[in-house]
Structure 1
Amino acid sequence: MAWNEPGGGNRDPWGSNQGGPGNQGGPPDLDEIVRKLQERVSGLFGGKGSSSGGGGGGGPSAVDLSLKTIGVILAGVFVVWLFTGIYIIDPAERGVVLRFGAYVKTTAPGPHWHIPWPIERVEVVNVDEISSFSHKAAMLTRDENIVDVELTVQSRIQDASNYLFQDQAPMKTLRDATETVVRKTIGGAKLDFILTEGRSAVAAMIQQGIQSLMDEYKTGLLVTSVNMQPAKPPEQVKDAFDDAIKAREDKERLENKAEAYANEILPQARGEAARAIANAKAYRDQVVASAEGETSRFNAIRTQFEKAPEVTRERLYLETIESVLTGSNMVLIDVPQGNSLMYLPLDQIMRNQTAKVAQPRTSMLDGPDSNQYNAPPTTSQIRDVSRDRSSR
């Protein structure tokens, strides 16, 4: 008969009489329940149940020992469970902590701890690994020419959380973005620019465009480099393009040669021009100085002429005749009458002429007080000497 059926005797599920004198209608004894469970388990395995009367040793009961053992085991299991939350992130990695599948934080390299599974788990992502792929396609340029373009894109993970959760396939998104940016960039440039000096500039623009799309889509990827191979024309028109490139190279070579010649000849021409200008300035200064000297001399003569016109006129005449006859060895004697044979001190005259050449010239510019004894004999003096000798 079940315990809760009529006539069950007010027994509880464990077989005790709730209205009995030993229970007094109170709650069931937990120790007694555990003891009965142990007895039943021991009976199942052939053991003997412990007597409720027990020995009189007064030691701890089996129930107490079992509870302590279970507590120690549970404590050990809990400690081991806590230790499973320790993890170490390498320098090239980042740890993404998830709590019940939701992002919590990103941990840096080093030892860390998280709440063990199944509450939290850690996704380790390598952020230093470089991934690369090649892209090759035929593009239409701005000037309606077709060119074959080949480039290699290298990337790495920059943001581990965005890489794991913001985009389902970041690498596929990177490939699609590369194709889009390459077509846009090549389509906006001319063929000559792509084939010659614009290759590095085109690669830089492509890298910048791809990175802009990666940031917009939050893929967590960083484009480290875009290496663009030399663009090539299609095979059908390769010979014509080679001829055009050769003509362009010849043009550059001739331009460089002309520039080198210009750099060589221009400094020489500038030097000659500077030398001619310096000579002209020197000649100008010389002429101006000579003219100023002649002007000063003329003004001085004019002053003397205003003071004594006759004397100045005579002196100018004599100086002019003297300058004309200085280089002549002929001696002119004016003898109106008498014997033309006379003695002249020719040696003294010649010495005076030599001394005159060696000494500075004396003119009227020196004034009336100049030393006239150092001057050579003039024609009038020679004439006076001749007259004196003839009168004798």
Structure 2
Amino acid sequence: MSFNNGNNPNDFINDIDRMKNEFRNSAKFLGPIIVIGLLVIGAFTSFYTVEPDEEAVVIRFGKYLTTNPPGLHFKVPMGVDQVIKVKTKRVLQAEFGFRTQDTRTRRTTYSSNSYKTESLMLTGDLNVADVEWAVQFQISDPFKYLFQTSSPEVNIRDVSESIMRRVVGDRSVTDILTTGKVEIETRALVLMQEVLNKYDMGVRIVTVKLQDVNPPEVVKPSFNEVNEAKQEQEKSINQAEGEYNKIIPEARGKAQKLISEAEGYASAEVNRSLGDAEKFEAIFKEYKRAPQITRKRIYLETMSTIFKRFENITVVDPEVKGLLPVFNKSLNGGSK
């Protein structure tokens, strides 16, 4: 297309007419091209894919329409339908007092920035503890998560921090730093879920994990000294209890042995005394029936017992002049 540079007005008018004709001819093809282009764009934007860990919330003209599961889905193009994908199968994490910087390497790295405004808390015994924790949660209802509150992530953080400060404020600093961590995690999870359920946010708390709990840096050396003293105290108590458990049972065993021996001796003496008494009663009965015979028998039995203690026996008879023969005890089995 070119214009006539001459000075003739008619030539200029002819150029204008020629341009109009060329534009009309081009417009005949431009309309179909635009329509085809719009159809192609509409075809490509009418379908969308929802990943396995997602759900898609569909909004039509600003109003909620439906929630679609994973897979291929259709929507009205040209901005009529708006699709918002939400990670409902993924466990999300909110961190307090620290921030994870990189988890792609073997060793997790954390941000060097300070978040003491989140982590410093007042305990029930009016001490200060530096509490770092993480809250893991899942989106159970994507529509409620997106539209029930204006800032769901901010709300989750606010609720988590408020509940943790309340739970920590009900316990002593010693409990928080030592044996009370599991109870704090469990209690905080229950209370957080109760508040989020009241807000109807479509969020489920998976776990609350205390990452690190320490006294403030200013008092940490003194606190460590106190802990070391308590550990020494526990060690001394355990050693004393060990010695007690070792010595006391041994002493009790010896005492029980002495008691058993004394009881055995007493029982033997009682039985012997009872036997002697029964023997005496039997002899006494015989004595009452035949006193002379019984007396002589007892005398002979007693003398026989006495004679057994001597090797040689000499019998002296006042009616016999001189000495009777000396009897050797070993002769004839020792009985004379």
What residue ranges of structure 1 are gaps of 5+ in the alignment? 1-43, 46-76, 355-375, 378-392
Residues 105 and 257 of structure 1: CA distance in aligned 2, closer, same or farther (over 3 Å):
farther
Q: Supply the distance in 2 between the matched residues of 1:323 and 1:105 (Cα, whole angstroms).
A: 121
Cα offset, 1:152, TM superposition: 2.4
Q: Supply the distance in 1 between the matched residues of 2:183 and 2:66 (Cα, whole angstroms).
A: 39
1:182 is paired with a residue whose SS is: helix
AA aligned opposite 1:131: Q
Asked whether 1:131 is paired with 2:89, we answer: no
Match of 1:221 among 182, 200, 203: 203
The percent of aligned pairs where both chains have the same amino acid is: 30
Cα offset, 1:115, TM superposition: 7.0
Residue number in structure 2 paired with 1:266? 248
Larger CA deviation: 243-252 vs 207-216: 207-216
Correspondences of 1:166-185 after superposition (within 5 Å): 166-185=148-167
Q: Supply the distance in 1 between the matched residues of 2:255 and 2:51 (Cα, whole angstroms).
A: 74
AA aligned opposite 1:145: N
Cα offset, 1:84, TM superposition: 8.4
Q: Supply the distance in 1 between the matched residues of 2:218 and 2:49 (Cα, whole angstroms).
A: 59
Residue number in structure 2 paired with 1:291? 273
Q: Supply the distance in 1 between the matched residues of 2:58 and 2:267 (Cα, whole angstroms).
A: 93
TM-score by length of 2: 0.69
Residue number in structure 1 paired with 2:9? none
Cα offset, 1:113, TM superposition: 5.5
The answer to whether the 8 A contact 1:170-1:221 is kept is no
Asked whether 1:350 is paired with 2:312, we answer: no
1:282 is paired with a residue whose SS is: helix
Match of 1:92 among 53, 58, 62: 53
AA aligned opposite 1:265: I
Q: Supply the distance in 2 between the matched residues of 1:314 and 1:120 (Cα, whole angstroms).
A: 137
Asked whether 1:242 is paired with 2:224, we answer: yes
The answer to whether the 8 A contact 1:114-1:120 is kept is no
Cα offset, 1:274, TM superposition: 3.3
AA aligned opposite 1:193: D
Cα offset, 1:97, TM superposition: 4.8
Relative contact order (alpha carbons < 8 A, sep ≥ 6): 1 or 2 greater? 2
TM-score by length of 1: 0.61
Indicate the structure with greater strand content. Answer: 2
1:228 is paired with a residue whose SS is: strand
AA aligned opposite 1:124: K
Residue number in structure 2 paired with 1:320? 302
The answer to whether the 8 A contact 2:314-2:324 is kept is no
The answer to whether the 8 A contact 2:121-2:131 is kept is yes
AA aligned opposite 1:92: D
Cα offset, 1:160, TM superposition: 1.9
Q: Supply the distance in 2 between the matched residues of 1:315 and 1:104 (Cα, whole angstroms).
A: 128
AA aligned opposite 1:130: L
Residue number in structure 2 paired with 1:329? 311
The answer to whether the 8 A contact 1:305-1:312 is kept is yes
Residues 265 and 341 of structure 1: CA distance in aligned 2, closer, same or farther (over 3 Å):
closer
Cα offset, 1:180, TM superposition: 0.9
Cα offset, 1:253, TM superposition: 1.2
1:131 is paired with a residue whose SS is: strand
Match of 2:213 among 188, 208, 231: 231
AA aligned opposite 1:247: A
Q: Supply the distance in 1 between the matched residues of 2:69 and 2:272 (Cα, whole angstroms).
A: 93
The answer to whether the 8 A contact 1:195-1:230 is kept is no
The answer to whether the 8 A contact 1:326-1:353 is kept is no
The answer to whether the 8 A contact 2:59-2:65 is kept is yes
Q: Supply the distance in 2 between the matched residues of 1:276 and 1:88 (Cα, whole angstroms).
A: 89
Residues 95 and 331 of structure 1: CA distance in aligned 2, closer, same or farther (over 3 Å):
same
2:268 is paired with a residue whose SS is: helix
Asked whether 1:159 is paired with 2:141, we answer: yes
The answer to whether the 8 A contact 2:316-2:323 is kept is no
Residue number in structure 1 paired with 2:292? 310
1:215 is paired with a residue whose SS is: helix
Residues 129 and 147 of structure 1: CA distance in aligned 2, closer, same or farther (over 3 Å):
closer
Cα offset, 1:171, TM superposition: 0.8
AA aligned opposite 1:299: E
Cα offset, 1:233, TM superposition: 2.7
The answer to whether the 8 A contact 2:91-2:136 is kept is no
Cα offset, 1:176, TM superposition: 0.7
Q: Supply the distance in 1 between the matched residues of 2:305 and 2:177 (Cα, whole angstroms).
A: 86
